[in-house]
Structure 1
Amino acid sequence: MTELEKGPQGVRRGRGARERIVSASQQLFRDQGINGTGIDQLCSVAGVSKRTLYQHFAGKDELIAEYLRRFDPDVLPEVFESADLAPRERLLAVFDIHSPLCPFIGAAVEIQDPDHPARLFARDYKKAFAVRLTESAREAGANDPEQLGEQLAMLLDGASARSRVLNADAFATAAAIAAVLVDNAIPATVPADASAV
């Protein structure tokens, strides 16, 4: 057994090390924040040496970007790609399943460098999320789908930030506000039999 294959206690740790490192980052970054988590602690929780960590990731910055990339790579496919939900229902469903502790907001707040890979990824994710909302608003027949998509994205981010700061769920209130926005933006449909009268 070579030194590269040994973890902190000399136990063979070669296979699956990358996944253990990412898993440890998901737990620690969520619970302690990015800045509150050190490399030593990441290695300890993952059961790998620093050398192994640096074989898989060039540094903590690269690990942070991977952590965010894995959080929701397809932008809530369980909502936006669901055949069981009508477009209007999709707009409201995001408030039921969106994570109260949005890691993208957390990363953007904790990392000051606007060109940091994690900040760039967070920005791209938030833009993609707003596009998904806009697409659903357009499919639902919103008068101004871009405006509704942006309003809902902002409301969701605000609820996430408020939940994080107050350590309380703000999504029920946000969902109620979202329903009003959606109702005001999407014309009511007339039932098929009513038009025949």
Structure 2
Amino acid sequence: MTELEKGPTGRRRGRGARERIISAAQRLFREQGINRTGMDQLCTAAEVSKRTAYQHFGGKDELVAEYLRGFDPSVLSGVFDRTDLAPRERLLAAFDVPPTTPLCPYIAAAVELHDSQHPASQYARDYKKAVAARLAGTAREAGAADPEQLGEQLALLIDGAAARSRVLDADAFPAAAAIAAVLIDTALPAAAGDDRRPEEAPS
């Protein structure tokens, strides 16, 4: 591939075509869905020719997989890697989701694709398992008797809250966080349950 190439508008573009294609995919897949977004529209938005697009991605399926691969590869590191929070607090922090956050891209992709063999479906499964595993690991730190079960329960609550928020156009995460607090405190031993901040502890 040459260093410069022409986009569909005829303007000469510099390097970075791959990044522009991924950026366009992130925006369009989020705004209108995967199935409603065609390669012609993606190329126009990215200002690249179809030939250039197919040089970087073998097809739309490969681009969809790359789109998902770019999301949070560290699996919610902003929550689980925080050292200023006790384990119980980190579990609850996973529910501190802004109400304007779009539906989880992994859920959206799995619903649209209807193909368990699609590479993007595999990324979605792997990511969802990774989230449950990180929740379980944090639950284990907190002293939960059955951390795997608690991790799965909390992962289910997060996904349910995300889907309900999208469907109802209302923030379902505060209610999910309240349910999560009950599940967490029930699963933790009484002694470990008091990892709350001093101001939260009963007098």
Aligned to 1:74: 74
Whole-angstrom CA distance in 1 between matches of 2:56 and 2:17: 8
Aligned to 2:169: 167
Whole-angstrom CA distance in 1 between matches of 2:168 and 2:18: 34
| Aligned equivalent of 1:131, options 110, 113, 133 | 133
Whole-angstrom CA distance in 2 between matches of 1:181 and 1:175: 10
Aligned to 2:199: none
Q: Percent identity?
A: 72
Structure number with the higher helix fraction is: 1
Mind listing any 5+ residue stretches in structure 1 that lack a counterpart? 192-197
2:94 is paired with a residue whose SS is helix
Is the counterpart of residue 85 in structure 1 residue 79 in structure 2?
no
Whole-angstrom CA distance in 2 between matches of 1:51 and 1:100: 31
* Counterpart residue identity of residue 109, structure 1: V
Aligned to 1:10: 10
Q: Is the 8 A contact 2:21 2:53 kept in 1?
A: yes
4+ residue stretches of structure 1 with deviation over 3 A? 97-100
Q: Shift of the alpha carbon at 1:159?
A: 0.8
Whole-angstrom CA distance in 2 between matches of 1:20 and 1:171: 33
Whole-angstrom CA distance in 2 between matches of 1:164 and 1:29: 15
1:97 is paired with a residue whose SS is coil
How far does the alpha carbon of each residue in 1:79-136 deviate from its partner, in whole angstroms, 9 at most, with x for none? 1111112111111111113745100000110001110000000000000110000000
Aligned to 1:185: 187
Aligned to 2:20: 20
TM-score by length of 2: 0.88
Whole-angstrom CA distance in 2 between matches of 1:166 and 1:36: 22
Mind listing any 5+ residue stretches in structure 2 that lack a counterpart? 195-203
Whole-angstrom CA distance in 1 between matches of 2:102 and 2:186: 26
Q: Is the 8 A contact 2:97 2:173 kept in 1?
A: no
